Every structure is written in structure tokens, then in C-alpha cells.
Amino acid sequence: MGKAIEWIIKGIVGMVVVLALAWAAARVAGPGQAQREALALLGAPWQPEGGNAFGALWLLAHDVPPHEVATLVAVDAHRMRQAAGPGEDGTGGLDGFATEAAARFADQSPSSDDRALFCEPRGSDCLPRVRAELDAYQALVQRNASLLARIDRLAGDGYVANQLPSRIDAPFPDFGLLRLGVTRNAVLFAQGDVDAALQASCRDIDTWRRLGGNTDMLVVQMTSLAIAGDANAQLLAQMLHELPAHHPVPEICAVAVRPVHVEERSVCRAMRGELAFASGMVDMTRNALAEAANPVERLLSSLVYNAHKTRGEMALVYGQSCSAGERARIASDLPIRDAALPRHGWARPGCIDNLVGCLLAAIGSPAYDGYRHRAQDLGARMQVLGTLLWLREQGTGPRTLVERLATRPEALRSPARDIEVGADGRSLRIRQYDTSQGDYWEVPLPDDVVAPSVAD
């Protein structure tokens, strides 16, 4: 019996020694090869062209002269860096932060009543809503003319790069203000300024495709997809539905619905910013554990949490969107469920010294699939709009809509999903990978595009 107990004790001691050696080896080794590669992908140089629209977005509600925007953003960024973090109850920190511009320039934020009139970023009811209360909407546009002018100036910028500290308690720009733009475009059409409405909608699609495809902020990319790929895209299709096929379309429309390149259908660039925000959470967790009152708790925390490796674990999640496999999947227009992308759980040798960090990364791993699909669906939607413009140019002839659709150019096709004629026979639709808003994205067709002509 004594010998058995002795062997059990020796076994336990041996296991402890092995675990201790494994822990030490993992801690010394630092982030693994996959983590380092993911960090390198997300840290690759990014040199966007044009001006940065972030400052204009951040100060959009205030009547700030363009030449003072950069200075005010720098002041706000400095104030944020100097502010303490939130307390244990989550309050404090940057809660209630007000821009320096508030003390110097008029706040032109629309009233709550005005905001209630704004068209939604998704859906197809904008034009009917505006027509039902055209006088009220015309007055809305007039009251907010200065804000609309600042929104329109964003068309001159090339990208959006965050200029504020990447703190998880940092406020975002008021993206809801941007809904006023599509509302104004609908007002133009409803009051008879048809060509101005077409020009403005196509310009806004082009603008937000450019800004959303060149940003390190996921919230900006998702906002741009709603503005360009849904609100203005649906409005453009509805306007064309009501116009004869021979009505000329502004040149900017062909530019706006151009094929969507792989980078624009990816959230890779936006994942840089997500990693930066995640790094802020990593550091806050480290500081909270280090400041624990109980010394035993601090010691145990240091054994199961490593901020440097946790950042690498987070990079594994975000870096999936920048991998060669992801690019190939997007180029083939395949959904994520068909891509067999890895999920990085916590039950791995490299997690023995960072169990908490691996768990945090594993919990966050599935959260981005919807965003990735939403970005990918932009390509499908632009193919639908491009097909709509192409059908208008072709005329009908004796062929049916399905026959004409089958002859469209290769640039308007996907290797994985096809544009279909809607169930009513008077619309185009394509299957969506992000099904949160329905299985299909559908737009109406003009009557003289639907019906083939009958030979005499």
C-alpha cells in the first residue's frame, strides 16, 4: 500500500513538473508561428490614396470650416489619450465626451423629429415615404442644407482612417446623420429633379464604395455598405423603374456600379482597426488582473493570462480575413460556410500559459462571419445594378427577359450564384450570403425592359 501511495505521489509530482516545464516553454516561446503570421498580415503597410474623411465624419454635426478640421481632431485625440479609463462599474472614462468643436461652432444636429423623417439605411420604402409627405421632406432638406453640404463634400475624400485613440470606450462619429443624404436624393426625384436625383444617388454609391472599401474601421465599412449597397442602390433601381429605358443616365452611374474588386469585398482592412480596439481590451484586462487586491489572485492571473500572446490570439481571428485562402474564396464568390476556415479554440499547447486569452479569442471568433458575408454581397448587388443598366441599353427585341439576361457580359456574372428573374417576372434578384435581411436582394425592372417587343 505504501509503495502505491509513493508511486501516486511521484506521478503527481511528475505531472506538475511536466506542466511547469510546458508552461515555461510556452511563455518563453511567445506567440506561435500562426499568430506571428496573422499579426504580420494585419500590420502590412497600407497607403490609401486621397484625403482622409475621418475628421469630417467626426465633426459632421458642427459647422466647422474644412481647414480647421484636422486641428480639432488632434485636440480631441489628445484629450482622449489623457482621460482615465472607465471605472469598475463601466462608467466614467470617455462617457459623455464632447468634441472641442462644441465650444466654438454651432451644433447643427437635426432634431429628433427631423431624424424620425430620415429614410432607413436598408429597405425600399424611401421614395414612397417622401412622396406621401413631400412638403415636409422638402422643408427637412432646407432646414438641414448646411449639414447636407458637408455630407456631399465627403465625395472628395479617398478613405477613412481612425485618428482617435483605439479605446473600447471611445465614441464613434454620428453615422446616423448620413441617412439624410439618401433622403435628399429621394426628395429630388419626387419633386421632379430627375437628373439631379440620378446624379446624386450614383455619386453617393461611388463615394461610399470608395470610403467603405478603404477604411480601418469596421463600423465605417458596414455603414458604407448600407448607404451604397442598399439605400442608394434600391433608390436608384426604383427611379430607373419609373423612367423609360431611353432616359439618359449620368456617366457617374456606370462608374458607381463598376465590378467590385476582391479587396472591396473583404473586411481585411477593417480588421486592422478591430485588432487595435481588441488590443485596448487586452491591455485593460491585463491592468485589471494586475491591480487585484489579493496577491494570490494576482499570481494566479499572471499564470493564465499573457497580453502579448492574447493579442496574437486575437490576430488569428481577425487575420482570417486577410489570408490567401480568404482572397481565393472571395474571388470565387464562395460563402464562408463552404470555406472550411479554421476556428482557434483554447485546447492547444500554446494556451497553457494563456488560458484566459485563448478563451477570449475563441468566444469572439464567430462574430465576424455576418460582416464578411455582407461585404461580399456588395459585389452581387453591383452586378444586379450593372445588369439593370445593361438591359436598359440593349432594348428588348423578340427575346424574353430570361434569354436576354443569359447573354449579359462576364463582368456581370458570379462564378457561384446567378442573377435570377424575380417570381413576379418583373424584377431581378440574387441570393444573399448575409441572410439577416432576407435570402435575396431584389430590384424592380422598368416595364419597357421586361416585355419583349412583338415584330409586325
Q: What value does the mean pLDDT of the chain take?
A: 86
Name the DSSP class of 92: B
Handedness of CA 227, 233, 238, 240 (dihedral sign): positive
> Hey, what's the cell of 343?
476556428
Residue-level pLDDT at 1: 56
> Hey, what's the cell of 97?
465626451
Residue 359 near residue 346 (C-beta atoms within 8 A):
yes
Around 181, how many Cα atoms within 13 Å sit in the side-chain half-sphere?
Answer: 31
Q: What are phi and psi of 92, to 5 degrees?
A: 90, -155
Residue 369 near residue 394 (C-beta atoms within 8 A):
no
Amino acid at position 92, single letter: G
> Hey, what's the cell of 168?
473600447
Query: Could you tell me which residues come within 8 angstroms of residue 99 by beta carbon, excluding any fewer than 6 positions away?
Result: 58, 59, 62, 72, 76
Compute the distance between CA of residue 100 and CA of residue 288 in angstroms, rounded to an integer: 30
Query: Could you tell me which residues come within 8 angstroms of residue 296 by beta carbon, excluding any fewer than 6 positions away?
Result: none
Length of the chain equals: 456
Compute the distance between CA of residue 278 and CA of residue 284 in angstroms, rounded to an integer: 10
Element (H, E) at 286: helix 268-290
How many Cβ atoms from other residues are within 10 Å of residue 128's Cβ?
Answer: 11
* Four-point Cα dihedral 230, 113, 133, 139, nearest 10: -100
Residue-level pLDDT at 285: 64
Mind listing the pLDDT tens digit for each residue in 315-326? 888 888 898 999
Residue 444 in 3-state DSSP?
strand
Is the pLDDT reported for residue 180 higher than 90? yes
Mind listing the pLDDT tens digit for each residue in 66-111? 999 999 999 999 999 988 766 555 566 788 899 999 999 999 999 9
Compute the distance between CA of residue 246 and CA of residue 61 in angstroms, rounded to an integer: 40
Is the pLDDT reported for residue 29 higher than 70? no
* Pick from 218-227, 243-252, 264-273, 332-341: least confident: 332-341
Reference 363, options 322, 398, 327, 317; nearest CA is 317
> Hey, what's the cell of 11?
506521478
Which pTM value belongs to this model? 0.88
Query: Could you tell me which residues come within 8 angstroms of residue 329 by beta carbon, excluding any fewer than 6 positions away?
Result: 336, 338, 339
Domain map (residue ranges) of the chain: 31-385
Mind listing the pLDDT tens digit for each residue in 355-404? 777 777 777 555 688 999 999 999 999 999 999 999 999 877 778 899 99
Compute the distance between CA of residue 119 and CA of residue 273 in angstroms, rounded to an integer: 29
Vertex 349 angle, CA 327 and 168, to 5°: 60
- Ranges of beta strands (E only) in 308-437 are 420-421, 427-431
- Which residues is 159 bridged to in the sheet? 52
Strands 427-431 and 420-421, by their bridges, are antiparallel
Compute the distance between CA of residue 441 and CA of residue 431 in angstroms, rounded to an integer: 7
